[in-house]
Structure 1
Amino acid sequence: MTHNQLASCYSISQGHSLMQKLKEMSRDDQMTLTAFVHEFPEHFETVGSNQLKARPAQQPESKAPCQPEPGAEQEREQGERLGAAALAEPMRYSELSRSLRALLSSGPGRPLPLDELDALFIERYKTSVSAVAGMSLAEYLQRKDSLFEYEPVQQTVKLLDRGATVAAGEMDESFVVREFVQLIEALGPVTYISTLCGKFIQRNGISVTSVISSRPLDLFKRHPNSFLVLGAGNVTLKKYESLPEVQRLMETAVPKARRGVKPAEAEESAFEVPDILTEQHVVEEFRRLILADGVDSVYISSLCGRFLQRFKKLVTAIIDGKPAEFLRRYPEIFVMTGGGNVGLREVLGADAVSVLPPPTRTKPVQDDATALPSDFNDKDFRDIDCMFDEEIQKDVREMLEVLRHQLEKVSFLAVDCAVVGGPVGQGLHCRHGAEIVLFVRQLPFKNFSQWLPHLVETLTPVLQFQLGQLAALKIDCVKADRDRVHFDLLAEGLSIPIEVLLSPIFKSRAHLMECIRDSPPDERLYFYAAFVRERNELMAGQSTDVKAIMNLMLWWVSVQPWSIASVRPTKWLVQLLTLRSCRKVQSDRSRLVAAVLRSFADLASLKELWEDADTSLCLYVSQDVWKPLLGQRPLVMDPVNPFCNLLDGFDGSELIKYAQPPVCWSAFSGHAAGRLGGAS
């Protein structure tokens, strides 16, 4: 591979820049990649001026492969196929975990010593983990703790059974029982209930309470033949009852026959309600109740009811505001998990993030006519229409085509093709900007947060340099933002916002859906780029009149005084809400715009599954929608992605405020039209 390709692969696997690492390693001058590989001729072979080859690794003596257990035949055959392929071409990073799983599945069923696993890997695949991953086997296993259980003290590793992939709608109580049994077998024999719930979310992307609609503690009590509750938030399997560590915990608990007064009753009888109740009492009691339940989260209303039962006073009589708003003032203690639930940071972990509060609900606008100023008609759009003159489009689109071809030549990425999306790619005016998605070969299909932000950071200065060399293009304000590169293209007196995104090349739509389903919910935003063609095709089928309304509404959004970027609706959301209104209302332009503004104002109560729309609009059937989304409000499904609620986590309070009549029409007034030249 070339030097730049090697630097890119290193950035993906290690999560930081190779150039930065070499700079840290050098003492005086900054070390170059060429100088570095020349110091290790036993590992690298230089081919030409800019390409490298890895020399074959020495094969150490290794133990004979272990005999496979019954049921591991499929994994063993898959491993042999990968081993044969490794002889023909170098192993890719994305194949490592599958190869290690094949070795462990065909092993003796006990934890395997680390050096033995390393030797088996080298023997079968003719290379080492460190040569493929750029890190030691131990470090790789620690990064893949959802697949492998690595014991650093004993230097052993075993396969962690992840269970079968099941759609959220197919999960039931029996599924939860099976998952808990597997987790306790892997983590036990004694496990905290909160730990089980956290692992369940990691494996399945949904909380236990969302599946069984009750507390996990109640589930254990309903299945006494499978589980044994030990108290203090601990649980084990019934089959482990005779183990010494289980017996010790059982002995510390007071047998029911010897209890004169139940511990909870004894605690309540000794409890005295303070004369003056403060907010601190509410915080301490809520924390105590959540810990006592031993679950990941509890309904806020349940906590308020139990507080009233114990203290004989309403929570709302003590605190200022609603209970949910009150709890958000203590982010170091509480985590809002959504659906009216709250958990503890000490249980969920320091990295847990509270869901955003729902948008402020306002009274819906009942009729288009009440939203329209009495003297407002289509002539008021005339000045705005001039800004969407098609004559300036041709030159700008030619510049975008030059930009697209240049991006396909990004040297250190194996770009298969570049697709123009966003408003320009969907037939709207160029002033609203474009998305250019680079489909790159050999990118991983999952775990985007571990490699994509670092790859974007590496790509940003490269694009800034390469595009800055082109006389035909003038760019400004280049910056990286998590999963994309932003910059402005200056053309025809306009500053056109451009976003460059990256996507792996998925084998098929079914493969893409499988990868999204297997990813945690907070990782699914990274799949946005993969749907660029679907978004383009959906908008390509819309009429010229509908696109004219979209141009108006995208302009309207661009001139509002948003306080921060995160409260500004995405262009894709604006286009879909516009399309939704146009499909429901058949009228002149003024009333169509009024209908779109009304949908903005009613954002907090929206529910749109596109079920009443033409079947050509939605790329999936209603049964494909990820079931947990159906309980969310507000809800606007992405018609190209059944795993995406476009309003999930979006704070629409400012959009609702700006869409209220009569202020919503001020942007369309004559004096506002004079400011259009500065809008982008």
Structure 2
Amino acid sequence: GTRPAEFFAREEQFAVSGRTVSLAGRSSSVPPEVLGPQATLGGVDNQKYLELYDKICSRSFTAHVVQSLDAVCDVLAKPMFINVDHIVRGGSAGTGVAISGAVDAEVVLFLRGVPAVRHDLWLAPLLRALAGVLGESAGAGKAVETVRATEDSVQVRAQNVTVDVRLSSIFPTFDDALTVLGHQEPEARRHVFPSLAKERAEFITKQPAAVKVTICLFKWWRDQQQWSGRLMRPSDEVLEFVVIYSAVQSKPTDQSTAVANVMSLLTVFSSLRIVWSNFYRKDDIWAPLLHHRPLLMDPTNP
């Protein structure tokens, strides 16, 4: 893949000087005006960034994604054989950082009456049963077009958006969920991950609008590249966490600065160490892991 600096240097609307990215046609010697939070997205310095953002996250596209997710949630909210306590939306579609051509959506159903452990006994049968019920009302021209059961979800397609529907038991507190997660064998932990959906989604949705714009810009950049392998391609989570960390640490006043700061972190990614304290303590992290580099911790899952 192409590094961010090389990519932006090729684009006509951007000018690159060292690690500084600015808009073409503007003098790099003039310091950017410091704007307040409300003006950050509306300043002249950001106009071309916003034009690019509007192309990849247009209002019509965003509305379509929201409508598709609404359609799936409406179907899932109807009375069924499972006892749904509440529904949490996630993925880029549920957190407001989806871009055209790269939409992932997740819906987690929190169920009453299912155990917090031994997912190997109850999860697969429930997923198959749910897929069967949803499939009965699926078809062309309907709210749900196709339904398919996978190993850990039910994939529902609505209005050309695929939504992964996952199931979770209910935990009294977030700490209780982490405790159960920590006692699971590595292979079984992925079945408990959906229980952290609310905290994971809130971490993204509560970010300022300017930070979400930067996230979308870097997702778009990633999708323009040809990567040497799947493991070399930065995931949505990696880009989201790096952008948010950069924003918290550097507090950029415009998109040019935000992009440059994230680019600086990506150039030293191999030595990066990012540990959060939003939802868990440092003591919750497996001690040997703290010595690894790069280290990019999930803010909700130690």
Q: Shorter chain as normaliser: what TM range? A: 0.7 to 0.9
Give SS of 1:483's match.
coil
**Counterpart of 1:535 in structure 2: which amino acid?**
R
- Is the contact made by 2:214 and 2:255 (CA closer than 8 Å) also made in structure 1? yes
Could you tell me how far apart the structure 2 residues matched to 1:465 and 1:382 are?
43
Kindly provide the CA deviation profile for residues 547-566 of structure 1, in whole angstroms up to 9, marking residues without a partner as x.
11112222333444456656
Distance 1:573 1:455, change over 3 A: farther
Distance 1:421 1:445, change over 3 A: same
1:370 aligns with: 18
Distance 1:466 1:418, change over 3 A: farther
1:557 aligns with: 222
> Is the counterpart of residue 632 in structure 1 residue 297 in structure 2?
no
Q: 1:499 Cα shift?
A: 1.7
1:518 aligns with: 183
Match of 1:509 among 174, 186, 193: 174
Distance 1:375 1:414, change over 3 A: closer
**Counterpart of 1:619 in structure 2: which amino acid?**
F
Could you tell me how far apart the structure 2 residues matched to 1:506 and 1:576 are?
26
**Counterpart of 1:609 in structure 2: which amino acid?**
V
Kindly provide the CA deviation profile for residues 552-611 of structure 1, in whole angstroms up to 9, marking residues without a partner as x.
222333444456656544423321111112223325323422332443443322211136
Counterparts of 1:86-125 in structure 2, within 5 Å, are: none
> Is the counterpart of residue 402 in structure 1 residue 74 in structure 2?
no
- Is the contact made by 1:468 and 1:474 (CA closer than 8 Å) also made in structure 2? yes
**Counterpart of 2:113 in structure 1: which amino acid?**
Q
Q: 1:446 Cα shift?
A: 1.9
Q: 1:545 Cα shift?
A: 0.7
Counterparts of 1:140-151 in structure 2, within 5 Å, are: none
> Is the counterpart of residue 602 in structure 1 residue 268 in structure 2?
yes
Could you tell me how far apart the structure 2 residues matched to 1:570 and 1:370 are?
26
- Is the contact made by 1:396 and 1:430 (CA closer than 8 Å) also made in structure 2? no
**Counterpart of 1:370 in structure 2: which amino acid?**
G
Distance 1:505 1:552, change over 3 A: same
Counterparts of 1:206-225 in structure 2, within 5 Å, are: none
* Gap regions ≥5 residues in structure 1: 1-361, 612-617, 643-680
**Counterpart of 1:417 in structure 2: which amino acid?**
H
Distance 1:373 1:395, change over 3 A: closer
Kindly provide the CA deviation profile for residues 172-196 of structure 1, in whole angstroms up to 9, marking residues without a partner as x.
xxxxxxxxxxxxxxxxxxxxxxxxx
> Is the counterpart of residue 442 in structure 1 residue 113 in structure 2?
yes
1:25 aligns with: none
How many equivalent pairs are there? 266
- Is the contact made by 1:419 and 1:437 (CA closer than 8 Å) also made in structure 2? yes
2:94 aligns with: 425
- Is the contact made by 1:405 and 1:418 (CA closer than 8 Å) also made in structure 2? no
2:197 aligns with: 532
Could you tell me how far apart the structure 2 residues matched to 1:502 and 1:526 are?
9
Distance 1:375 1:416, change over 3 A: closer
**Counterpart of 2:284 in structure 1: which amino acid?**
D
Kindly provide the CA deviation profile for residues 600-648 of structure 1, in whole angstroms up to 9, marking residues without a partner as x.
443322211136xxxxxx1223233233432333211122222xxxxxx
Counterparts of 1:376-415 in structure 2, within 5 Å, are: 376=24, 379=48, 382-394=51-63, 396-409=65-78, 411-415=80-84
Give SS of 2:116's match.
coil
Could you tell me how far apart the structure 2 residues matched to 1:502 and 1:563 are?
34
1:213 aligns with: none
Counterparts of 1:300-379 in structure 2, within 5 Å, are: 369-371=17-19, 376=24, 379=48
Q: 1:438 Cα shift?
A: 0.9
Could you tell me how far apart the structure 2 residues matched to 1:567 and 1:456 are?
32
Q: CA RMSD in A?
A: 3.4
Q: 1:481 Cα shift?
A: 3.9
Sequence identity (%): 29
Could you tell me how far apart the structure 2 residues matched to 1:641 and 1:485 are?
23
1:26 aligns with: none
- Is the contact made by 1:415 and 1:439 (CA closer than 8 Å) also made in structure 2? yes
Distance 1:439 1:569, change over 3 A: farther
Could you tell me how far apart the structure 2 residues matched to 1:442 and 1:469 are?
34
- Is the contact made by 1:409 and 1:415 (CA closer than 8 Å) also made in structure 2? no
2:39 aligns with: none
Taking structure 2 as the reference length, the TM-score comes to 0.72
- Is the contact made by 1:408 and 1:438 (CA closer than 8 Å) also made in structure 2? no
Could you tell me how far apart the structure 2 residues matched to 1:540 and 1:632 are?
29
1:619 aligns with: 279
> Is the counterpart of residue 571 in structure 1 residue 236 in structure 2?
yes
Give SS of 2:279's match.
coil
* Gap regions ≥5 residues in structure 2: 7-15, 27-45
- Is the contact made by 2:68 and 2:158 (CA closer than 8 Å) also made in structure 1? no
**Counterpart of 2:280 in structure 1: which amino acid?**
Y
- Is the contact made by 2:169 and 2:195 (CA closer than 8 Å) also made in structure 1? yes
> Is the counterpart of residue 484 in structure 1 residue 153 in structure 2?
yes
Give SS of 1:500's match.
strand
Could you tell me how far apart the structure 2 residues matched to 1:562 and 1:497 are?
24
Give SS of 2:86's match.
strand
Kindly provide the CA deviation profile for residues 368-396 of structure 1, in whole angstroms up to 9, marking residues without a partner as x.
84256787585366244233123543454
Give SS of 1:583's match.
helix
Q: 1:437 Cα shift?
A: 0.6
Distance 1:369 1:486, change over 3 A: farther
**Counterpart of 1:424 in structure 2: which amino acid?**
A
Distance 1:444 1:561, change over 3 A: farther
Larger Rg: 1
> Is the counterpart of residue 593 in structure 1 residue 259 in structure 2?
yes
Q: Which has the higher contact order (CA 8 A, sep 6+)?
A: 2
- Is the contact made by 1:437 and 1:532 (CA closer than 8 Å) also made in structure 2? yes
2:33 aligns with: none
Distance 1:400 1:466, change over 3 A: same
Distance 1:600 1:525, change over 3 A: farther
Match of 1:547 among 212, 216, 237: 212
Could you tell me how far apart the structure 2 residues matched to 1:566 and 1:453 are?
28
Could you tell me how far apart the structure 2 residues matched to 1:469 and 1:506 are?
38
- Is the contact made by 2:137 and 2:144 (CA closer than 8 Å) also made in structure 1? no
